[in-house]
Structure 1
Protein backbone atom coordinates (compact mmCIF):
# COMPACT_ATOMS: atom_id res chain seq x y z
CA UNK A 1 0.00 0.00 0.00
CA UNK A 2 2.89 2.32 0.84
CA UNK A 3 4.36 1.86 -2.63
CA UNK A 4 1.06 2.83 -4.32
CA UNK A 5 0.82 5.88 -2.06
CA UNK A 6 4.31 6.93 -3.17
CA UNK A 7 3.36 6.46 -6.82
CA UNK A 8 0.21 8.52 -6.31
CA UNK A 9 2.05 11.33 -4.51
CA UNK A 10 4.76 11.40 -7.19
CA UNK A 11 2.11 11.62 -9.93
CA UNK A 12 0.19 14.29 -8.04
CA UNK A 13 3.29 16.41 -7.53
CA UNK A 14 4.20 16.05 -11.22
CA UNK A 15 0.71 17.11 -12.30
CA UNK A 16 0.66 20.09 -9.94
CA UNK A 17 4.12 21.17 -11.09
CA UNK A 18 3.07 20.92 -14.75
CA UNK A 19 -0.05 22.99 -14.06
CA UNK A 20 2.01 25.59 -12.22
CA UNK A 21 4.50 25.87 -15.09
CA UNK A 22 1.71 26.10 -17.68
CA UNK A 23 -0.20 28.74 -15.72
CA UNK A 24 2.63 30.94 -14.51
CA UNK A 25 5.81 30.21 -16.47
CA UNK A 26 5.47 28.83 -20.02
CA UNK A 27 2.38 28.00 -22.06
CA UNK A 28 2.24 26.00 -25.29
CA UNK A 29 0.06 27.00 -28.24
CA UNK A 30 -0.58 25.76 -31.77
CA UNK A 31 -0.60 28.23 -34.66
CA UNK A 32 -3.74 27.47 -36.73
CA UNK A 33 -3.58 30.11 -39.49
CA UNK A 34 -1.11 31.92 -41.72
CA UNK A 35 -1.75 35.45 -40.39
CA UNK A 36 1.79 35.61 -38.91
CA UNK A 37 3.70 34.24 -41.91
CA UNK A 38 6.57 34.19 -42.59
CA UNK A 39 7.58 34.29 -38.90
CA UNK A 40 5.01 31.71 -37.78
CA UNK A 41 3.45 29.13 -40.06
CA UNK A 42 0.27 27.06 -39.73
CA UNK A 43 1.21 23.93 -37.81
CA UNK A 44 3.87 25.61 -35.67
CA UNK A 45 3.77 24.70 -31.99
CA UNK A 46 5.11 27.54 -29.88
CA UNK A 47 6.10 28.32 -26.31
CA UNK A 48 5.04 31.63 -24.80
CA UNK A 49 6.85 33.00 -21.76
CA UNK A 50 4.30 34.20 -19.22
CA UNK A 51 7.06 35.82 -17.15
CA UNK A 52 8.31 38.22 -19.84
CA UNK A 53 6.04 41.05 -18.67
CA UNK A 54 5.86 40.27 -14.98
CA UNK A 55 5.58 37.44 -12.49
CA UNK A 56 1.99 36.62 -11.62
CA UNK A 57 1.35 35.91 -7.97
CA UNK A 58 -0.33 32.47 -7.74
CA UNK A 59 -4.08 32.48 -7.13
CA UNK A 60 -4.31 36.25 -7.68
CA UNK A 61 -4.54 38.60 -10.65
CA UNK A 62 -1.59 40.67 -9.42
CA UNK A 63 1.88 40.77 -10.97
CA UNK A 64 5.26 41.83 -9.63
CA UNK A 65 8.32 43.06 -11.50
CA UNK A 66 6.08 44.08 -14.38
CA UNK A 67 7.30 45.47 -17.70
CA UNK A 68 5.52 46.73 -20.81
CA UNK A 69 5.70 44.92 -24.19
CA UNK A 70 8.28 46.34 -26.56
CA UNK A 71 7.77 47.27 -30.19
CA UNK A 72 8.43 44.23 -32.35
CA UNK A 73 7.51 41.64 -29.69
CA UNK A 74 5.40 38.68 -30.79
CA UNK A 75 2.76 38.34 -28.10
CA UNK A 76 -0.05 36.00 -27.14
CA UNK A 77 -3.15 37.90 -26.01
CA UNK A 78 -6.82 37.34 -25.36
CA UNK A 79 -9.03 38.45 -28.25
CA UNK A 80 -10.84 41.70 -27.31
CA UNK A 81 -14.30 40.60 -28.46
CA UNK A 82 -13.88 36.96 -27.36
CA UNK A 83 -11.70 36.80 -24.22
CA UNK A 84 -11.69 33.00 -24.25
CA UNK A 85 -9.76 32.96 -27.56
CA UNK A 86 -5.99 33.54 -27.67
CA UNK A 87 -4.23 35.09 -30.66
CA UNK A 88 -0.66 35.88 -31.69
CA UNK A 89 0.28 39.22 -33.27
CA UNK A 90 3.21 41.63 -33.35
CA UNK A 91 3.38 44.76 -31.21
CA UNK A 92 3.77 47.73 -33.56
CA UNK A 93 2.36 50.69 -31.65
CA UNK A 94 2.98 51.69 -28.02
CA UNK A 95 1.06 54.21 -25.88
CA UNK A 96 1.17 57.66 -27.45
CA UNK A 97 2.27 56.39 -30.88
CA UNK A 98 0.46 57.75 -33.92
CA UNK A 99 -0.16 54.78 -36.20
CA UNK A 100 -1.15 54.95 -39.84
CA UNK A 101 -1.17 52.55 -42.79
CA UNK A 102 -1.03 54.20 -46.22
CA UNK A 103 -1.03 52.23 -49.44
CA UNK A 104 -0.38 49.15 -47.33
CA UNK A 105 2.77 50.58 -45.73
CA UNK A 106 3.21 51.43 -42.06
CA UNK A 107 3.78 54.99 -40.82
CA UNK A 108 4.63 55.51 -37.17
CA UNK A 109 4.74 58.97 -35.60
CA UNK A 110 4.87 60.53 -39.08
CA UNK A 111 7.93 58.40 -40.00
CA UNK A 112 7.33 55.88 -42.82
CA UNK A 113 8.91 52.46 -42.37
CA UNK A 114 11.38 51.30 -45.01
CA UNK A 115 10.71 48.15 -47.04
CA UNK A 116 13.38 45.96 -48.58
CA UNK A 117 12.94 42.67 -50.40
CA UNK A 118 14.03 40.04 -47.88
CA UNK A 119 16.62 37.42 -48.76
CA UNK A 120 14.92 34.64 -46.81
CA UNK A 121 15.02 30.99 -47.76
CA UNK A 122 12.54 29.99 -50.42
CA UNK A 123 10.77 27.75 -47.90
CA UNK A 124 9.81 30.84 -45.87
CA UNK A 125 7.57 32.11 -48.66
CA UNK A 126 4.17 30.36 -48.57
CA UNK A 127 3.73 30.91 -52.32
CA UNK A 128 6.34 32.86 -54.29
CA UNK A 129 3.87 33.34 -57.15
CA UNK A 130 1.40 35.15 -54.90
CA UNK A 131 3.53 36.75 -52.16
CA UNK A 132 6.65 38.82 -51.72
CA UNK A 133 8.61 38.90 -48.45
CA UNK A 134 9.93 42.23 -47.21
CA UNK A 135 11.86 43.45 -44.21
CA UNK A 136 9.86 46.20 -42.52
CA UNK A 137 12.40 48.57 -40.95
CA UNK A 138 12.35 51.56 -38.64
CA UNK A 139 15.31 53.32 -37.07
CA UNK A 140 15.27 50.99 -34.05
CA UNK A 141 13.74 47.69 -35.15
CA UNK A 142 12.82 45.45 -38.08
CA UNK A 143 10.90 42.25 -38.82
CA UNK A 144 9.76 40.27 -41.88
CA UNK A 145 6.33 40.78 -43.46
CA UNK A 146 4.61 39.45 -46.55
CA UNK A 147 2.36 41.20 -49.05
CA UNK A 148 0.26 39.82 -51.84
CA UNK A 149 1.70 40.78 -55.21
CA UNK A 150 -1.71 41.93 -56.39
CA UNK A 151 -2.81 43.37 -53.05
CA UNK A 152 -5.25 46.23 -52.71
CA UNK A 153 -3.72 49.32 -51.12
CA UNK A 154 -5.62 49.46 -47.84
CA UNK A 155 -5.34 52.68 -45.85
CA UNK A 156 -5.91 52.92 -42.11
CA UNK A 157 -5.86 55.68 -39.51
CA UNK A 158 -4.17 57.59 -38.25
CA UNK A 159 -4.97 56.79 -34.63
CA UNK A 160 -3.11 57.47 -31.38
CA UNK A 161 -2.56 54.44 -29.15
CA UNK A 162 -4.26 55.05 -25.75
CA UNK A 163 -2.33 54.82 -22.45
CA UNK A 164 -1.75 51.28 -21.26
CA UNK A 165 -2.58 49.71 -24.64
CA UNK A 166 -0.77 48.34 -27.70
CA UNK A 167 -1.45 48.31 -31.43
CA UNK A 168 -1.02 44.86 -32.97
CA UNK A 169 -0.51 43.74 -36.57
CA UNK A 170 -0.07 40.40 -38.27
CA UNK A 171 3.07 39.91 -40.38
CA UNK A 172 0.87 38.62 -43.22
CA UNK A 173 -0.52 42.08 -43.80
CA UNK A 174 -3.14 41.24 -46.43
CA UNK A 175 -4.57 38.30 -44.49
CA UNK A 176 -4.60 39.32 -40.84
CA UNK A 177 -7.46 40.24 -38.52
CA UNK A 178 -5.75 42.69 -36.17
CA UNK A 179 -5.90 46.16 -34.56
CA UNK A 180 -6.88 47.71 -37.88
CA UNK A 181 -10.25 46.02 -37.47
CA UNK A 182 -10.91 45.65 -33.72
CA UNK A 183 -8.73 48.33 -32.18
CA UNK A 184 -5.93 48.47 -29.66
CA UNK A 185 -5.49 45.93 -26.87
CA UNK A 186 -4.96 46.67 -23.15
CA UNK A 187 -1.55 45.43 -22.02
CA UNK A 188 -3.35 43.60 -19.22
CA UNK A 189 -4.74 41.24 -21.86
CA UNK A 190 -1.26 40.32 -23.11
CA UNK A 191 -0.55 36.85 -21.73
CA UNK A 192 3.05 36.34 -22.76
CA UNK A 193 5.83 36.69 -25.31
CA UNK A 194 6.45 34.04 -27.98
CA UNK A 195 10.00 32.74 -27.54
CA UNK A 196 10.33 29.35 -29.24
CA UNK A 197 8.96 27.06 -31.94
CA UNK A 198 9.34 23.59 -30.47
CA UNK A 199 7.62 21.66 -33.29
CA UNK A 200 6.40 22.44 -36.80
CA UNK A 201 4.07 20.22 -38.83
CA UNK A 202 3.32 20.77 -42.52
CA UNK A 203 -0.14 19.44 -43.37
CA UNK A 204 0.28 20.45 -47.01
CA UNK A 205 3.01 17.84 -47.46
CA UNK A 206 1.69 14.52 -46.20
CA UNK A 207 3.05 10.99 -46.23
CA UNK A 208 1.90 7.53 -45.13
CA UNK A 209 -1.00 7.29 -47.52
CA UNK A 210 -1.67 11.01 -47.25
CA UNK A 211 -2.49 10.60 -43.54
CA UNK A 212 0.45 12.15 -41.68
CA UNK A 213 2.03 15.62 -41.87
CA UNK A 214 5.69 16.11 -42.62
CA UNK A 215 7.94 17.79 -40.05
CA UNK A 216 9.63 21.11 -40.85
CA UNK A 217 12.87 20.08 -39.17
CA UNK A 218 14.56 23.42 -39.80
CA UNK A 219 11.97 25.10 -37.56
CA UNK A 220 12.06 22.62 -34.66
CA UNK A 221 13.42 24.29 -31.50
CA UNK A 222 14.05 27.55 -33.32
CA UNK A 223 13.87 30.90 -31.57
CA UNK A 224 11.32 33.54 -32.56
CA UNK A 225 12.04 37.21 -33.22
Structure 2
Protein backbone atom coordinates (compact mmCIF):
# COMPACT_ATOMS: atom_id res chain seq x y z
CA UNK A 1 0.00 0.00 0.00
CA UNK A 2 1.34 3.46 -0.91
CA UNK A 3 1.41 6.00 1.90
CA UNK A 4 1.41 9.59 0.64
CA UNK A 5 3.16 12.57 2.18
CA UNK A 6 0.05 14.18 3.79
CA UNK A 7 -0.71 10.90 5.57
CA UNK A 8 2.83 10.71 6.92
CA UNK A 9 2.77 14.34 8.04
CA UNK A 10 -0.64 13.97 9.68
CA UNK A 11 0.53 10.87 11.57
CA UNK A 12 3.70 12.71 12.66
CA UNK A 13 1.63 15.68 13.85
CA UNK A 14 -0.69 13.42 15.86
CA UNK A 15 2.20 11.50 17.45
CA UNK A 16 4.33 14.52 18.36
CA UNK A 17 1.30 16.52 19.49
CA UNK A 18 0.08 13.68 21.69
CA UNK A 19 3.49 13.27 23.32
CA UNK A 20 3.81 17.01 23.93
CA UNK A 21 0.24 17.25 25.28
CA UNK A 22 0.60 14.28 27.61
CA UNK A 23 3.82 15.72 28.95
CA UNK A 24 2.28 19.15 29.54
CA UNK A 25 -0.82 17.78 31.28
CA UNK A 26 0.44 14.67 33.06
CA UNK A 27 4.12 13.88 33.00
CA UNK A 28 5.64 17.33 33.58
CA UNK A 29 3.58 18.09 36.72
CA UNK A 30 4.48 14.66 38.09
CA UNK A 31 8.19 15.28 37.37
CA UNK A 32 8.09 18.68 39.06
CA UNK A 33 6.34 17.26 42.09
CA UNK A 34 8.85 14.41 42.39
CA UNK A 35 11.76 16.82 41.83
CA UNK A 36 10.44 19.16 44.54
CA UNK A 37 10.31 16.34 47.04
CA UNK A 38 13.83 15.21 46.23
CA UNK A 39 15.14 18.76 46.04
CA UNK A 40 13.70 19.61 49.45
CA UNK A 41 15.65 16.71 50.93
CA UNK A 42 18.83 17.99 49.31
CA UNK A 43 19.29 14.87 47.21
CA UNK A 44 19.17 16.30 43.70
CA UNK A 45 19.05 19.63 41.94
CA UNK A 46 15.42 20.71 41.31
CA UNK A 47 16.01 21.99 37.79
CA UNK A 48 17.92 18.92 36.68
CA UNK A 49 15.37 16.54 38.17
CA UNK A 50 12.44 18.22 36.40
CA UNK A 51 14.15 18.30 32.99
CA UNK A 52 11.96 16.85 30.23
CA UNK A 53 13.00 13.60 28.48
CA UNK A 54 14.69 13.74 25.09
CA UNK A 55 11.61 12.25 23.35
CA UNK A 56 9.40 15.02 24.75
CA UNK A 57 11.95 17.66 23.80
CA UNK A 58 12.00 16.44 20.18
CA UNK A 59 8.18 16.25 20.07
CA UNK A 60 7.85 19.80 21.40
CA UNK A 61 10.38 21.08 18.86
CA UNK A 62 9.04 19.30 15.78
CA UNK A 63 5.27 19.51 16.37
CA UNK A 64 4.81 23.19 15.33
CA UNK A 65 7.08 22.72 12.29
CA UNK A 66 5.15 19.65 11.16
CA UNK A 67 1.82 21.43 11.62
CA UNK A 68 2.98 24.47 9.62
CA UNK A 69 4.22 22.28 6.75
CA UNK A 70 1.00 20.24 6.82
CA UNK A 71 -1.19 23.35 6.71
CA UNK A 72 0.84 24.97 3.93
CA UNK A 73 0.88 21.86 1.74
CA UNK A 74 -2.71 20.83 2.43
CA UNK A 75 -4.50 24.17 2.17
CA UNK A 76 -2.29 26.75 0.48
CA UNK A 77 0.61 25.84 -1.83
CA UNK A 78 2.30 22.55 -2.67
CA UNK A 79 5.45 21.96 -4.74
CA UNK A 80 5.57 19.31 -7.48
CA UNK A 81 8.28 18.08 -9.86
CA UNK A 82 7.56 17.49 -13.55
CA UNK A 83 8.64 13.90 -14.33
CA UNK A 84 7.64 13.62 -18.00
CA UNK A 85 7.41 15.62 -21.21
CA UNK A 86 3.63 15.43 -21.63
CA UNK A 87 3.22 19.18 -21.02
CA UNK A 88 6.01 20.34 -23.34
CA UNK A 89 6.46 23.17 -24.30
CA UNK A 90 4.69 24.72 -21.29
CA UNK A 91 6.51 22.55 -18.76
CA UNK A 92 9.71 20.56 -19.15
CA UNK A 93 11.14 17.52 -17.43
CA UNK A 94 13.02 18.82 -14.39
CA UNK A 95 10.75 21.80 -13.74
CA UNK A 96 9.66 22.28 -10.15
CA UNK A 97 6.30 24.00 -9.91
CA UNK A 98 4.01 25.51 -7.30
CA UNK A 99 0.34 24.55 -7.14
CA UNK A 100 -2.43 26.64 -5.62
CA UNK A 101 -4.30 24.19 -3.35
CA UNK A 102 -7.26 26.37 -2.34
CA UNK A 103 -8.37 27.86 -5.65
CA UNK A 104 -10.81 24.99 -6.36
CA UNK A 105 -11.89 24.57 -2.74
CA UNK A 106 -10.37 23.75 0.64
CA UNK A 107 -10.14 20.03 1.34
CA UNK A 108 -9.23 18.10 4.45
CA UNK A 109 -5.85 16.36 4.12
CA UNK A 110 -5.69 12.58 3.59
CA UNK A 111 -9.47 12.10 3.09
CA UNK A 112 -9.63 14.94 0.49
CA UNK A 113 -13.12 15.97 1.51
CA UNK A 114 -14.04 19.49 0.37
CA UNK A 115 -15.14 21.65 3.28
CA UNK A 116 -15.17 25.09 1.62
CA UNK A 117 -16.06 25.69 -2.03
CA UNK A 118 -13.81 28.38 -3.55
CA UNK A 119 -14.29 28.00 -7.30
CA UNK A 120 -14.13 25.68 -10.30
CA UNK A 121 -11.50 24.99 -12.95
CA UNK A 122 -11.63 27.20 -16.01
CA UNK A 123 -10.94 26.05 -19.53
CA UNK A 124 -7.22 26.35 -20.18
CA UNK A 125 -6.10 25.95 -16.54
CA UNK A 126 -3.06 23.74 -15.97
CA UNK A 127 -4.16 21.40 -13.20
CA UNK A 128 -2.59 18.77 -10.96
CA UNK A 129 -4.95 15.90 -10.18
CA UNK A 130 -4.92 12.36 -8.88
CA UNK A 131 -4.89 9.87 -11.76
CA UNK A 132 -8.35 8.27 -11.82
CA UNK A 133 -6.99 4.75 -12.42
CA UNK A 134 -4.45 5.06 -9.57
CA UNK A 135 -5.19 7.97 -7.18
CA UNK A 136 -1.80 7.56 -5.50
CA UNK A 137 -0.21 9.01 -8.67
CA UNK A 138 -0.37 12.73 -9.47
CA UNK A 139 -0.82 13.89 -13.07
CA UNK A 140 -0.62 17.37 -14.57
CA UNK A 141 -2.58 18.34 -17.70
CA UNK A 142 -4.56 21.22 -19.16
CA UNK A 143 -8.34 21.51 -18.72
CA UNK A 144 -9.91 21.30 -22.18
CA UNK A 145 -13.42 20.07 -21.46
CA UNK A 146 -15.77 21.32 -18.74
CA UNK A 147 -18.85 19.52 -17.34
CA UNK A 148 -21.54 19.22 -20.01
CA UNK A 149 -19.17 19.87 -22.94
CA UNK A 150 -18.99 17.82 -26.11
CA UNK A 151 -15.30 17.53 -26.96
CA UNK A 152 -14.05 16.42 -30.35
CA UNK A 153 -10.45 15.73 -31.33
CA UNK A 154 -9.85 15.31 -35.05
CA UNK A 155 -6.77 15.94 -37.20
CA UNK A 156 -4.88 17.20 -34.10
CA UNK A 157 -7.50 19.88 -33.54
CA UNK A 158 -9.90 20.35 -30.63
CA UNK A 159 -13.63 21.00 -31.17
CA UNK A 160 -15.78 22.20 -28.26
CA UNK A 161 -19.53 21.79 -28.71
CA UNK A 162 -18.98 21.63 -32.43
CA UNK A 163 -16.82 24.77 -32.61
CA UNK A 164 -13.25 24.47 -33.87
CA UNK A 165 -10.57 25.81 -31.51
CA UNK A 166 -8.21 27.62 -33.90
CA UNK A 167 -4.48 27.00 -34.03
CA UNK A 168 -1.66 29.06 -35.48
CA UNK A 169 1.61 27.51 -36.60
CA UNK A 170 4.72 29.08 -35.07
CA UNK A 171 7.24 26.87 -36.84
CA UNK A 172 9.32 23.72 -36.25
CA UNK A 173 9.81 22.69 -32.65
CA UNK A 174 13.37 21.96 -31.58
CA UNK A 175 14.60 20.76 -28.21
CA UNK A 176 17.80 19.27 -26.90
CA UNK A 177 15.96 15.98 -26.39
CA UNK A 178 17.03 13.91 -29.39
CA UNK A 179 13.89 11.76 -29.21
CA UNK A 180 11.98 14.48 -31.07
CA UNK A 181 11.86 14.03 -34.80
CA UNK A 182 12.21 16.92 -37.21
CA UNK A 183 8.48 16.97 -38.00
CA UNK A 184 7.50 18.33 -34.59
CA UNK A 185 5.63 21.63 -34.95
CA UNK A 186 5.01 24.39 -32.42
CA UNK A 187 1.52 25.89 -32.52
CA UNK A 188 -0.54 28.40 -30.57
CA UNK A 189 -3.94 27.00 -29.61
CA UNK A 190 -6.91 29.16 -28.66
CA UNK A 191 -9.35 27.73 -26.12
CA UNK A 192 -12.07 30.34 -25.96
CA UNK A 193 -10.37 33.50 -24.65
CA UNK A 194 -7.26 31.61 -23.50
CA UNK A 195 -4.25 30.74 -25.60
CA UNK A 196 -1.18 28.58 -25.05
CA UNK A 197 1.47 26.74 -27.02
CA UNK A 198 1.26 23.08 -28.00
CA UNK A 199 3.52 20.65 -29.85
CA UNK A 200 2.20 18.28 -32.51
CA UNK A 201 3.95 15.77 -34.75
CA UNK A 202 2.12 15.56 -38.10
CA UNK A 203 3.78 12.27 -39.05
CA UNK A 204 2.58 10.32 -36.01
CA UNK A 205 -0.62 8.36 -35.45
CA UNK A 206 -3.19 9.92 -33.14
CA UNK A 207 -6.29 9.18 -31.13
CA UNK A 208 -9.44 10.75 -32.52
CA UNK A 209 -13.00 10.80 -31.30
CA UNK A 210 -15.79 12.67 -29.58
CA UNK A 211 -16.46 12.70 -25.85
CA UNK A 212 -19.40 13.90 -23.73
CA UNK A 213 -18.21 15.25 -20.37
CA UNK A 214 -20.47 14.24 -17.44
CA UNK A 215 -21.37 16.69 -14.70
CA UNK A 216 -18.67 16.98 -12.06
CA UNK A 217 -15.93 15.80 -14.44
CA UNK A 218 -13.23 17.38 -16.61
CA UNK A 219 -11.47 16.44 -19.85
CA UNK A 220 -7.69 16.86 -19.59
CA UNK A 221 -5.08 16.97 -22.34
CA UNK A 222 -1.32 17.42 -22.39
CA UNK A 223 0.20 20.24 -24.44
CA UNK A 224 2.55 17.70 -26.04
CA UNK A 225 -0.41 16.32 -27.95
CA UNK A 226 1.15 13.25 -29.52
CA UNK A 227 3.10 12.23 -26.41
CA UNK A 228 0.58 12.62 -23.64
CA UNK A 229 -1.34 9.94 -21.74
CA UNK A 230 -4.52 11.88 -21.03
CA UNK A 231 -8.32 11.84 -21.14
CA UNK A 232 -8.30 10.68 -24.75
CA UNK A 233 -7.03 7.31 -23.50
CA UNK A 234 -8.43 6.79 -19.99
CA UNK A 235 -11.41 9.11 -19.69
CA UNK A 236 -12.45 12.10 -17.62
CA UNK A 237 -11.27 13.32 -14.22
CA UNK A 238 -13.83 13.56 -11.37
CA UNK A 239 -13.93 16.82 -9.44
CA UNK A 240 -12.87 15.13 -6.20
CA UNK A 241 -9.55 14.15 -7.81
CA UNK A 242 -8.46 17.75 -8.37
CA UNK A 243 -5.42 18.83 -6.37
CA UNK A 244 -4.91 22.41 -7.52
CA UNK A 245 -3.90 24.86 -10.22
CA UNK A 246 -0.25 25.11 -11.28
CA UNK A 247 0.81 28.75 -11.38
CA UNK A 248 4.61 29.11 -11.34
CA UNK A 249 7.93 27.39 -12.05
CA UNK A 250 10.04 27.99 -8.93
CA UNK A 251 13.04 25.93 -10.03
CA UNK A 252 14.20 24.11 -13.14
CA UNK A 253 17.05 21.62 -13.26
CA UNK A 254 18.20 20.26 -16.61
CA UNK A 255 21.10 17.81 -16.64
CA UNK A 256 21.74 18.35 -20.35
CA UNK A 257 22.03 22.11 -19.74
CA UNK A 258 24.47 21.83 -16.86
CA UNK A 259 22.10 22.27 -13.92
CA UNK A 260 19.85 25.18 -13.02
CA UNK A 261 18.00 26.85 -15.91
CA UNK A 262 17.92 30.36 -14.50
CA UNK A 263 15.62 31.92 -17.07
CA UNK A 264 12.78 29.54 -16.12
CA UNK A 265 12.82 30.38 -12.41
CA UNK A 266 9.73 32.42 -11.52
CA UNK A 267 8.11 31.84 -14.91
CA UNK A 268 4.30 31.93 -14.70
CA UNK A 269 2.42 28.95 -16.08
CA UNK A 270 0.03 30.03 -18.82
TM-score for the superposition, normalised by structure 1: 0.85
Residue 118 of structure 1: aligned partner: 170
Q: Distance in 1 between matches of 2:168 and 2:228?
A: 21
For this pair of structures, how many residues does the alignment match? 216
What are the ranges of 5 or more consecutive residues in structure 2 without an aligned counterpart? Answer: 1-50
Query: Superposed, which structure 2 residues align to 1:60-99 within 5 Å?
Result: 61-99=113-151
Query: Superposed, which structure 2 residues align to 1:1-225 within 5 Å?
Result: 1=51, 9-57=60-108, 61-118=113-170, 129-152=182-205, 154-206=206-258, 214-225=259-270
Specify whether residues 155 and 119 from structure 1 end up closer, same or farther in structure 2 by C-alpha distance, changes over 3 A only: closer
Specify whether residues 28 and 139 from structure 1 end up closer, same or farther in structure 2 by C-alpha distance, changes over 3 A only: closer
Specify whether residues 139 and 17 from structure 1 end up closer, same or farther in structure 2 by C-alpha distance, changes over 3 A only: closer
| Alignment check: 8 A CA contact 2:77 2:98 kept | yes
| Alignment check: 8 A CA contact 1:75 1:190 kept | yes
Output one character per residue of 1:67-94: Cα deviation in whole Å (capped at 9) or x when no partner: 2111001111111111110000000000
- Relative to total residues, which structure has the larger strand share, 1 or 2? 1
Q: Distance in 1 between matches of 2:105 and 2:264?
A: 28
Root-mean-square deviation over aligned CA pairs = 2.6
- Relative to total residues, which structure has the larger helix share, 1 or 2? 2
- Following TM superposition, by how much is the alpha carbon of 1:66 offset from its aligned partner in structure 2, in angstroms? 3.1
Residue 41 of structure 2: aligned partner: none
Larger RCO (CA under 8 A, 6+ residues apart) = 1
Residue 17 of structure 2: aligned partner: none
TM-score for the superposition, normalised by structure 2: 0.72
| Greater Cα radius of gyration, structure 1 or 2 | 2
| Alignment check: 8 A CA contact 2:172 2:184 kept | no
Q: Distance in 2 between matches of 1:100 and 1:82?
A: 26
